[in-house]
């Protein structure tokens, strides 16, 4: 359960003041698949950083599973990210020269999960995204782009997060592979009831979600269910 | 983050950049090895000098003529420059209970010709007591006797370095005895040779010719003064009281009331060892400091590499932070990495240092002494360098903002 109340984020560079988020309020229920859409500079990345507990708002409140995370310290935010959030990035951000399995296990290292359990959980995640087992011990730079992104999704799943945040997950992929990745998200949402927030600037991508929040100039312009 | 994960991360970081890691470690290896070798050479020199001094003879007091120190000044006249010690002083000292034996000496440098070769060496006019007091051992033939002293005999005992200079290396000492050598234009018969004491450099006790004191005074010196009186004290524990006793005796003999205007000076072996030790200690510190600088330079190499690594891996650090790594996890990872580099460098450096010290000792003839202290010290210093020079890069990594780090190209 995500609840944002009057989120404001102001960036200051010298005398200039940029209102990246201007009084944004909305909520997302557990198990929803939501797209946040907007052109570049609309504030959608800033919003993603708030939702992902990478940054805190200038004012306003953000509740994640009923806990206010808008005023936490850096280390406390790191703990929130470790336990409740899974990230999928546009450029995958896998560790190079490292096996697929180890990449997926990476978040569990910081959670001090014992080695054996890590492998079991990473295996489950990889099965959930449908990556063939014969690829698990490949190095991350020896697989295709679509497979890389699915490995990244498996990594986002492995800590059983309350929220999966995907930032332009299809931006570096061709249309067909992109659709396959989006299919994976939809499947995870429908079958495993994961809460997914997808950030994108493309309407076709946003259409895969159940609901689209459109923002521009830091304000919500529209918030509607996709038909 | 569990320790085993930190170790694994460090391992993969190190093997993923073998050349750079190797070169960086090399800096530490050279630093550590040179500290160990330099300190070993310094300690070796100290040990050798101390051994040389011990070989002069134990329980030894040496009285030199005319070397008084003016009050408040450290400037001394050249030893033996004043003519003040005479045979009656020797006899007076012999009368003391604490004295075991007394060996007077007069010496100078003269040319020695023998077997068609010539060498310039120290000619020591001595009595038979000298061999006992100064631990001079005869290898072949005999030492100067009392009769030869009384008869002003023209006989000589040659040190091994002199034999080598005149008769060539590896000459059997037995062949030399009975030969004639010409010293300052006077023929002498060789009656004996001495065992090598292994002294090196100036004042070597091997590069010497002994002749009777009376002969020396008659034909070389032309007067009755002595350069030095060597005194063997009966009991080691009585060294200090004997020194005072002899000083008072000589002051009385020479009719001097004030000890500060004495026309002689007394040295004991402890003073000599102390002086030589302080010289070699300074040498060790100097060598160690020079080597220490290279260790610091090696440490800067580590810091440089770690900063490069942090910059290169900015996105990775951003990712790790995004998926839940805390600042402490990140800094521990980089600190562990730099400490591992210096740890490996330390071990390899110690091995190399010990090997080089051994090579120096066995192939270059310089005594070295690798001390456990220098090993422990350099190991400690290398670990410290890893932490000190790794701290700044690690801190920089841990302070990276995950949002900016993820965007870093």
Note whether A109 contacts B316, CB cutoff 8 Å: no
Mean per-residue pLDDT of chain A: 92
> How far apart are the C-alpha atoms of B64 and B79, rounded to whole Å?
6
What DSSP state is assigned to residue A177? Answer: H
Chain B touched by A57 (CB under 8 Å): no
Please give chain B's pLDDT, 409 residues, in tens.
Answer: 788 888 888 888 888 888 989 998 998 899 889 988 888 888 888 888 777 777 666 678 888 887 554 444 444 444 444 578 888 888 888 888 888 889 999 988 999 998 888 899 999 999 998 988 888 888 888 999 989 989 989 999 999 889 988 988 878 878 888 889 999 889 999 999 998 876 554 456 788 999 999 999 989 888 888 888 989 888 877 888 888 888 888 888 888 888 777 888 888 877 777 777 788 888 888 888 888 888 888 888 888 888 998 998 899 999 999 999 999 999 999 999 999 988 999 999 999 999 999 998 888 877 888 888 888 888 888 888 888 889 999 999 999 999 989 888 7
Domain boundaries, chain B: 3-52+275-407, 83-262
Residue B85 has a pLDDT of 86
> How far apart are the C-alpha atoms of B277 and A13, rounded to whole Å?
66
The first and second tokens of residue B383, run together, are 């670990």
**Taking every pair of C-alpha atoms in chain B, what is the biggest distance, in angstroms?**
103
> How far apart are the C-alpha atoms of A165 and A168, rounded to whole Å?
10
Residues of B in CB contact (< 8 Å) with A are 1-2, 4-5, 12, 16, 315-316, 318-329, 402-403, 406
**Which residues in chain A are contacts of B403 at CB distance < 8 A?**
49, 54-55
**Which residues in chain B are contacts of A78 at CB distance < 8 A?**
321, 324-327
Residue A88 pLDDT grade (very low, low, confident, very high; cuts 50, 70, 90): very high
Note whether A87 contacts B5, CB cutoff 8 Å: no
Note whether B329 contacts A110, CB cutoff 8 Å: yes
Predicted-assembly ipTM surpassing the 0.95 threshold: no
**Which residues in chain A are contacts of B402 at CB distance < 8 A?**
54
What Cα–Cα distance (Å) separates residue A227 from each residue in A207, B219, B234?
9, 130, 116
- Across the interface, of B324, B327, B403, the residue whose CB is closest to A55 is B403
- Across the interface, of B315, B319, B324, the residue whose CB is closest to A111 is B324
What Cα–Cα distance (Å) separates residue B202 from each residue in A174, B80, B163, B220, B344?
86, 17, 17, 22, 43
CATH number at residue A123: 3.40.50.300
> How far apart are the C-alpha atoms of A65 and A30, rounded to whole Å?
9
| Overall number of domains in chain A | 1
What's the average model confidence in pLDDT over A129-147? 91
DSSP assignments along B118-153, one per residue: EEEEEEEEE-THHHHHTTPPEEEE----HHHHHHT-
Place of tokens 């370095």: B161
Q: Which of A53, A83, A93, A156 to mutate to test the interface with B (most CBs of B within 10 A)?
A: A93
Question: What stretch of H or E contains A28?
Answer: strand A16-28
- Measured between CA atoms, the residue of chain B closest to residue A159 is B323
Helix (H, G, I), strand (E, B) or coil at B235: coil
Name the residue range of residue A164's domain: 2-225
The first and second tokens of residue B388, run together, are 């000190």
What is the value of pTM for the model shown?
A: 0.71
What Cα–Cα distance (Å) separates residue A3 from each residue in A8, A66, A159, A191?
14, 8, 22, 24
Size of interface A-B (CB pairs under 8 A): 61
């Amino acid at each position: 359960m995500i609840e944002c109340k009057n989120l404001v984020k102001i960036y200051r560079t010298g005398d200039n003041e940029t209102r990246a988020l201007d009084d944004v309020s909305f909520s997302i229920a557990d198990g929803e698949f939501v797209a946040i859409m907007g052109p570049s500079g609309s504030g959608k990345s800033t919003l993603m950083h708030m939702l992902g507990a990478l940054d805190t708002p200038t004012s306003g409140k953000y509740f994640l599973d009923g806990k206010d995370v808008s005023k936490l310290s850096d280390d406390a935010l790191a703990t929130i990210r470790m336990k409740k959030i899974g990230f999928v990035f546009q450029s995958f951000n896998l560790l190079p020269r490292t096996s697929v399995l180890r990449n997926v296990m990476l978040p569990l290292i910081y959670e001090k999960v014992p080695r054996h359990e890590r492998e079991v959980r990473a295996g489950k995640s990889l099965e959930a995204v449908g990556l063939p087992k014969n690829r698990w011990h490949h190095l991350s730079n020896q697989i295709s782009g679509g497979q890389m992104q699915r490995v990244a999704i498996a990594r986002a799943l492995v800590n059983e997060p309350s929220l999966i945040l995907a930032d332009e997950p299809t931006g570096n992929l061709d249309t067909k592979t992109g659709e396959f990745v989006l299919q994976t998200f939809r499947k995870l949402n429908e079958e495993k009831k994961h809460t997914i927030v997808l950030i994108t600037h493309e309407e076709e991508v946003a259409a895969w979600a159940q609901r689209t929040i459109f923002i521009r100039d830091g304000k919500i312009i529209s918030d509607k269910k996709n038909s | 983050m569990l320790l085993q994960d930190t170790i694994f991360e460090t391992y993969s970081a190190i093997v993923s950049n073998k050349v750079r890691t190797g070169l960086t470690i090399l800096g530490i290896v050279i630093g550590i090895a040179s500290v160990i070798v330099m300190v070993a050479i310094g300690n070796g020199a100290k040990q050798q000098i101390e051994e040389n001094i011990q070989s002069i003879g134990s329980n030894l007091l040496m009285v030199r003529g005319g070397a008084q120190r003016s009050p408040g000044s450290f400037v001394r006249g050249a030893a033996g420059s004043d003519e003040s010690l005479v045979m009656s002083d020797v006899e007076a000292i012999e009368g003391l209970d604490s004295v075991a034996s007394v060996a007077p000496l007069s010496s100078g440098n003269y040319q020695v010709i023998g077997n068609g070769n010539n060498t310039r060496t120290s000619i020591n006019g001595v009595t038979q007591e000298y061999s006992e007091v100064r631990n001079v051992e005869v290898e072949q033939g005999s030492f100067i006797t009392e009769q030869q002293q009384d008869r002003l005999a023209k006989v000589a005992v040659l040190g091994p370095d002199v034999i080598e200079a005149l008769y060539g290396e590896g000459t059997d000492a037995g062949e030399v005895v009975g030969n004639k050598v010409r010293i300052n234009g006077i023929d002498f018969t060789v009656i004996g040779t001495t065992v090598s004491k292994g002294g090196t450099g100036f004042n070597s006790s091997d590069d010497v010719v002994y002749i009777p004191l009376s002969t020396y005074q008659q034909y070389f010196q032309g007067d009755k003064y002595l350069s030095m009186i060597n005194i063997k004290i009966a009991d080691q524990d009585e060294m200090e009281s004997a020194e005072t006793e002899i000083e008072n005796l000589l002051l009385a003999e020479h009719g001097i009331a004030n000890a500060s205007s004495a026309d002689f000076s007394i040295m004991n072996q402890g003073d000599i060892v102390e002086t030589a030790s302080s010289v070699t200690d300074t040498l060790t510190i100097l060598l160690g400091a020079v080597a220490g600088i290279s260790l610091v330079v090696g440490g800067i190499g580590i810091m440089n590499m770690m900063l490069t690594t942090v910059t290169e891996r900015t996105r990775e650090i951003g990712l790790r932070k995004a998926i839940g790594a805390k600042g402490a996890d990140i800094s521990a990872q980089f600190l562990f990495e730099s400490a591992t580099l210096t740890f490996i460098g330390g071990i390899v450096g110690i091995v190399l240092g010990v090997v080089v010290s051994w090579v120096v000792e066995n192939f270059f003839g310089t005594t070295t002494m690798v001390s456990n202290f220098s090993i422990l010290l350099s190991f400690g210093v290398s670990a410290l360098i890893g932490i000190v020079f790794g701290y700044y890069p690690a801190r920089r990594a841990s302070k990276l903002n995950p949002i900016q780090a993820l965007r870093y190209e």
